[in-house]
Amino acid sequence: MKTYLFYIKTTIKNSLFLFALLFMSFLTYKVYGAISISVSYFTSVYIYGIICFNLFLLTASTYTMLNSSTVLRFLERDKLKKQYALIVSCTIITLFIALFPIVLMLSFKNDLTPPIFLLKGMAHFLIIWLLSNLLAAVIGSSISLLVRNKFAYLLSLLVYGWFVWMSMHSPAKPINRYLNIFDDSTYILSNNISGPLFNRNYFLDKLFLILVLFLLIFLVRSVVASRKRAINYLILGGLIISVCVLPIWSHANHQIVRIPADQTAKSPYEIQKYTMNLELTNKLKNKAAIIINFPKDSKDIVLALDDIFVVKNLKLDHQPVSFTHKNNVVTIPSSHKHGESITLTMEYEGFVDVINDIGVNTYYVTKSAINLPGYFFDWYPNIKGQGPVDFDVSIDAAAKVYSNIPAASSNERHLTGSSNSLNLFTGQYQQVQSEQIQYIIPISDNIDGFKSSFQSSIDTIPEHAGLSKEDLFILKNKNYTRVIVSIWPFEINSHSVQVIGDTVLVNYN
């Protein structure tokens, strides 16, 4: 019999195993209703069920490593190989037990949940479940190898408890997110429209935990192993450096919400029309042709565009020109006379993965989830405060895209219309028609409940709230045709609603 199979049998025959399963079942019963909101939301509220099984594996691995019975000595005399076999057995048990919540997700999911979000949600749960349980098993087995007495139980609990304590903090800093062994959205309001975003930051976060696992393993090897100590020390040093550098490097590359570029002064030029060819995958790529008129003489053209984008090509009337792109504006040194009209063509691209100061997904572009509120986020070149502009937009995207600009005839990927901003959304949405108004709301919302809450927020808006009289009139008299739930930070706009032509954006929070 292989050693890890023996450890599987001895672990599941432990009386604590039955107690852990019973307690987990009770905790699951208390929160399984969260699955109907979203699978990712269930993962964030299932933290105590995860902790329960973590504690079982922590205790079981400590007990097994301290147990020096004749049978265990016969099966494996090498202490390090015994640890590795134990970690493999804990992995198998962890994956087997995960079948229970996975079946629940399939059984009680919201019927409106798109298949891609169901798969992503289950994958997210398995990653959190597996890594946290492996961390508990590695902590218990490693400390019991270093402390060969019953004090190992207390020390293992203290080390694991430190990780749990760090996970209880709101992720105000990147290091808090990295040390959170559970879902980052456990203690903050999550964005369930997008679900888990499997992007670079997500994988770096999980990579950090994997590095911590190997750090603990090689720390033990460096102390216990009698051979190849130089190699073990070298690997241990590399792991320590990686664990220290990764959060610092990640913080430097993290995209945080910035206040949009200030263009309060009246521009001597105006945009007449946009023609865009948008590609929205895991990166935003745009080929934009912009017709600009000059009612007055102008020396420079200044357009707002967030710095996360890289301008690949820029031409004026098909001629390449110099430009600068910094502080979220593109500046083109080009003089023009009153009455002129030019065509500016720009190609740019960038990864859109912007979070707010506590780590909530705010602006993002993936194949299945998009949040591009152009009124608040400069994802395309624009002039702040300008009136309605004509848009002709072709979109290449994997999922259905919702917008304040209507689709042209039956082609949902071709948008044409006039507005002061272009806003695009994709995610866990449902589209409901009620009283000749189109509501695009999260799948977790009930339309009657949403309408009641929405109307209540409108009724309580004071006249001095900052909205124009025209916007207040539109809201009070229901002179709109579309309502879309979006997300934007309150430091940019403190209103929960924003009127954009015949569309009302409602803040998800």
pLDDT computed for residue 7 by the predictor? 79
Extended strands (E) in 351-449: 353-355, 361-365, 370-373, 389-397, 402-403, 407-408, 411-419, 423-426, 429-434, 437-442
Task: Supply φ then ψ for residue 375, to 5 degrees.
Answer: -65, -30
C-alpha Rg value of the chain to the nearest Å: 28
Distance between terminal CA atoms of the chain?
55
| Dist. CA 297–CA 425, nearest whole Å | 37
Contact 337, 283 (CB under 8 A): no
* Nearest partner of 213 among 20, 64, 84, 51, judged by Cα: 84
The crossing angle, in degrees rounded to 10, of helices 99-108 and 79-97 is: 20
pLDDT at 1 (0 to 100): 45
Give every CB contact of residue 103 below 8 A, 6+ residues apart in sequence: none
Nearest residue to 457 (alpha-carbon basis) of 440, 476, 470: 476
What CA–CA distances, in Å, run from 354 to 258, 358, 401, 488? 9, 11, 19, 11
| Residue 173: predicted pLDDT | 67
Rounded distance between C-alpha atoms, residue 267 and residue 89, angstroms: 67
pLDDT score for 79? 82
Per-residue pLDDT at 457 = 85
- pTM for this structure? 0.90
Q: What are phi and psi of 401, to 5 degrees?
A: -105, 130
Q: Which residues of the chain have pLDDT under 70?
A: 1-2, 68-77, 170-174, 251-253, 261-265, 463-466, 494
| Predicted pLDDT of residue 299 | 87
DSSP string of 217-274? HHHHHHHH--S-HHHHHHHHHHHHHHHHHHHHHHHHT-EE--PPPP--SPPS-EEEEE
**pLDDT attached to residue 94:** 96
The CA-based dihedral angle spanning residues 434, 435, 439, 445, taken in that order and rounded to the nearest 10 degrees:
-50
pLDDT at 458 (0 to 100): 87
**How many other CB atoms sit within 10 Å of the CB of residue 202?**
16
Which residues, including other chains, have CB under 8 Å from residue 297's CB and lie 6 or more apart? 268, 335, 336, 337, 338
Secondary element (H or E) of residue 71: helix 70-75
57 neighbors 133 (Cβ within 8 angstroms):
yes
CB 390 within 8 A of CB 418: yes
